[in-house]
A = this chain, B = another copy of it.
Amino acid sequence: MPLDRSIIARLSLFEGLGPAELDSILRDARSVRFAKEAAIFEQEAEARSFYVLLAGHIRVVRTTPDGRQVIARYISEGEIFGVAAALGRLTYPATAIAAVDCVVLVWPNAVWPDLSSRFPVLTAGTFKTVGARLQDTQARVMELATEQVEQRVASALLRLVKQTGRKTDAGIEIDFPISRQDIAEMTGTTLHTVSRLLSAWEERGIIVSGRQRVTITDAHRLVMLAEHRDG
C-alpha cells in the first residue's frame, strides 16, 4: 500500500514539488511507528537511513565515553534528521529517541544521491536545515561559554516553547514530557540546580510545573531572565 502524498505535501522541505514528484520520492520511503522511549537510531551505529518526522517529538542524545549524556536537540514534526550519510559520515553521531509515540518516514541512504540530484529543492532544504542546526549549536556554545546557569536554563525553556509550545489556559506548555534531568542535559548543569531554579520561578509566578511538565505563564519575565541578570 503506497503512502499518500498528502502526508508530506505540506512540509516545507518538499515545497514546490508537484504530485508526481512527491509520489516518486515516497516510492522509496516507508512509514514506521516508534513507541515512546524507543530508539530510532543509535550513536555509533552504521548510518543506513535518513528520516523525516511526521508526528511526535524526538530527543537527540549524545553520550560521552564515560557515560554522561547531553541532549543535542529536539526534533519537531516535519524536520528531516539522521542525515549523517549526506554529510559524509558513516555512523550516526548521536542517538535519537522518541520522546512520545512517533511516526517517521524512512529512506535508505542509497537513494540520497539520486533524490538529491533530481530535486535540488531537497538538497537546498537539507543544506538549510543543517545550516540552521549549525547555527543553533554554535549559539549553544556561546551560551555555555559566556552565560550563567540561570540564563541558560531560561533560554532553553524559551527555545522549547517556541519550537513546540502548546497554548493552555495557564500559559504555554511544552508539548512533551520533559524531566528536570532532561533540562539539565540540555544546559550543562545538574537536575538539582534545574529543580531549584524552577521552584524559584514557580514561586515568582513565571512558570508552573509538575512531573515531566513545564508551562510558561510569564514569558516576558523569562526573557528578561534569559537576557539579563534580573527579572
Using a CB–CB distance below 8 Å, which chain A residues touch chain B?
Answer: 62, 64, 68, 70, 72, 84, 86-89, 93-94, 117, 120, 123-124, 127-128, 130-135, 137-138, 140-142, 144-146, 185, 187-188
Contacts and interface: CB of A to CB of B under 8 A. Distances in A.
Most buried by B among A93, A133, A137: A137
Contacts of A127: 86-88, 127, 130
Contact of A70 (B123, B135, B145, B187): B145
16 contacts: A64-B146, A72-B141, A84-B131, A86-B127, A87-B128, A87-B131, A88-B124, A88-B131, A93-B135, A117-B120, A123-B123, A127-B130, A133-B134, A137-B138, A141-B141, A145-B188
Contacts of A145: 70, 144, 185, 187-188
Most buried by B among A88, A94, A123, A132: A88
Contacts of A146: 64, 68, 70, 188
Nearest to A120: B117
A86 B132 CA distance: 11
Contacts of A128: 87-88
B132 A134 contact: no
Contacts of A88: 124, 127-128, 131-132
Contact of A134 (B70, B134, B142, B144): B134
A123 to B, nearest CB: 7
Given A70-B142, A138-B137, A145-B70, A131 B89 contact: yes
A68 B147 CA distance: 10
Contacts of A131: 84, 86-89, 130
B138 A62 contact: yes
Nearest to A228: B66
